[in-house]
Amino acid sequence: MRRKKQRSSESIAPRFALRFLFVILALAIGSEALADPAAYLVGERIVRFHESEEARAGAAPSIALREPLAEIQPAPADFPVRPRFENLHNRNGVRVRIDEGTSLYGTGLVPGPLLRNGRRTTLWNHDAFGWGDETPHLYQSHPWVLAVRADGTAFGLLFETTYRSHLDLAGDILFITEGPPFAVLAIDRESPDEVVRALADLTGHMPLPPLWALGYHQCRYSYFPDERVREIARAFREKEIPCDVVWLDIDYMDGFRSFTFHPTRFPDPLGLNEDLRTRGFHTVWILDPGIKKEDGYGVYDTGSERNLWVESADGSPYTGRVWPGECVFPDFTLPAARDWWANLVADFLARGIGGVWVDMNEPAVFDVWDKTMPLSNIHRADEALGGADTHARYHNAYGMLMARATREGALLARPDKRPFVLSRANHLGGQRYAAAWSGDNLATWYHLDVSIPNVLNLGLSGQPFSGPDIGGFAEAGDAALFARWMGIGALFPFARGHTAKGNIDKEPWSFGPETEATCRRAIERRYRLMPYLYTVFRETSLTGLPVARPLFFADPSDPDLRSEDDAFLLGADLLVSARTTPKRDRVPVMPIGDWKKIPWEETAGEEDPDLPELYIRGGAIVPIGPVMQHTGEKPLDPLTLLVRLDAEGRAKGTLYEDDGESLEYRKGAFRITEFEARETRGVVRLASRIVDGYWKEPQRKTFVRLLLDEGTLETEWKGRDSVSIRVRR
């Protein structure tokens, strides 16, 4: 029997809270409908709508899109999505009617549940420390809605503006901006996954990350001095808890000046990084955009000489206080500023640094009520971005452009290696440059609960590489919460433990032996699943499909799956069933069909109530590997294939492999192996074939584990073209 989960009243606040008074006033006063919009076909079943031909002629370039779109011809009259442009309380808005039974998703990084019907959001990048369910805006802005109709068909709406905007989903889809008229891109498809694919085609695909970035990451604000960093790395290896990355927060800097190193805490960053690499660790170091206004500080001096700072309305460099004190801010809308920053990043990475974490880039400013720079500030943007304009226009794009310049710097430093960049602030399309996390969360059951819909809605908004601060950034929490969070967080696309300065330690061993054992099992499970996870990431980089997917992707027409966010799909073939309440008393709805629970010993070693249950789809073959202490420790040997036959006695699966770090895969330096199983007269025969890439097939042990209702059958695949298993039912 399928049981619909129930959320407690404490887990999410009422959906119809009066958050945005001006929106309600606008609705009460009414709206002025404008003339029929100008509508043009820009792709297969993709239409761009403008308020008018005049608005179309004056439209600014879209920062969200990968490249400009050609408006091919007038839109067909029967296109099923018809935005209506309106003047709402003297603001430019658009309304799209939805049919009964339509479910709404996306909207980027937002608090609250997966299902967005009844929710209201402000799109304004904001330093939202300790955010909660009623926080109107977080660190990123994604002007995007995915709508799934009752029959499972879907459409998506991309609102082409970077200005502060308000998205009201209490009834119809209502989008209101505080900026000038804007265009709306509408995508119509037969299923939600096709809409998400089309969104990625328009806004850009996530580049394939280095394999090490898929490992477990350990961070805190802050690990210092350098010997403390070495101590953390040694502890992971001594305790045999897998980890690939240790992170360095702002206390590595000299006086919080970006691109500097504290002379006594970190006197030899290159030596530290080389030492950690011998233990199998990469490092990620933080950079902030606030540059200390100080003569003699090389970064400030060169930026001033080249006139690269954001300007106040009077034309002088704007200054605001951040961590180093009085700061200026690079104008990342300027090509010269992005090139300057990229060269700084390249020199920075020459010290053996693996990846870059860009933070405080909403941009955040201290001691002002709105936590950012004045909206009247001037950005001297290049014409490709739309030309010079105020911060009101470019605020939501600032973090994305900083991430862009940072990635360009990483490629400048290592043109043959894949960069890794994490950015706190971003905009729709920013997946082209950086991964994301959900910012400064709290060690509460609420934040564990919403971490799943956070990741899912980011994935549905084009950003597939994301995760929360595992264990909660602020507040202590306890062992029960930490163990449960690690079990779930270790299966998110991005898996990083993190905590704040002044907080308790939150390494996997910090809550005692029992919790340490759970954390070890959780992280080992991630590494066992790495062959499958890496294969899914590669698929995502090509298709735009999320790594973590909502359950309704399994059956978009099933209404019981529309609000389910206590479970998620990892790729198409694995289902993660979590328990996010303290008493584990909320049971996720399962998709109809054959989903077989994977025995604990296959991925976790032994049963653990704090780890999510894993299910494999009928008809799937899932490749897994051995436990490794880091992704580069040893080759994938042995390879294990988990096989679950469908009702017709068949199963298929794929394994993607490359060197894990270079860009040579773009030239064919990879291997894709397809596996197929078929049962005939009580014998299951498995065969494999290499279908793409020029990598030679390795010599390794391969085990096949056939997951039947009656139990598991295992055999070793000993170098033959196929292998057979006799099934006794």
Annotated catalytic residues are 359, 362, 440
DSSP code for 80: S
3-state secondary structure of 317: strand
Burial of 74 (0-12, 13-18, 19+ CB in 10 A): exposed
Strands 639-644 and 702-708, sheet pairing: parallel
The closest alpha carbon to 51, from 181, 168, 180, 236, belongs to: 181
Residue that is written with structure tokens 């409908």 in the block: 33
Please state, as a whole number, how many other Cβ atoms lie within 10 Å of the Cβ of residue 349: 21
User: How many Å apart are CA 521 and CA 530, to the nearest integer?
Assistant: 14
Distance of alpha carbon 258 from the chain centroid: 25
Burial of 406 (0-12, 13-18, 19+ CB in 10 A): buried
Sequence-ordered alpha helix ranges (H) in 183-268: 192-203, 226-238
Measure Cα distances from 239 to 377, 499, 607, 718 in Å. 52, 20, 20, 34
* End-to-end CA, the chain: 26
Give a three-class secondary structure readout of 389-443. EEHHHHHHHHHHHHHHHHHHHHHHHCCCECCCEEECCEECCHHHCCEEECCCCEC
Facing residues of 177 across strands? 92, 165
Residue positions counted in the chain: 729
Whether 362 and 126 have beta carbons less than 8 Å apart is answered as yes
Backbone angles phi, psi at 625, to 5 degrees: -125, -170
Tell whether the torsion through CA atoms of 385, 388, 394 and 398 is positive or negative: positive
Give a three-class secondary structure readout of 581-625. CCCCCCCCCCCCCCEEECCHHHHCCCCCCCCCEEEEECCEEEEEC
Whether 396 and 162 have beta carbons less than 8 Å apart is answered as yes
Catalogue the long-range contacts made by 50-59 (C-beta closer than 8 Å, 24 or more residues apart). 50/181, 50/183, 51/85, 51/92, 51/181, 52/181, 55/181, 55/183, 56/183, 58/181, 59/160, 59/181, 59/182, 59/183
- Nearby residues of 681 by Cβ (< 8 Å), 6 or more positions away: none
3-state secondary structure of 638: coil
Distance of alpha carbon 346 from the chain centroid: 25
3-state secondary structure of 49: strand
Whether 211 and 481 have beta carbons less than 8 Å apart is answered as no
Whether 130 and 440 have beta carbons less than 8 Å apart is answered as yes
Sequence-ordered alpha helix ranges (H) in 285-358: 298-305, 335-349
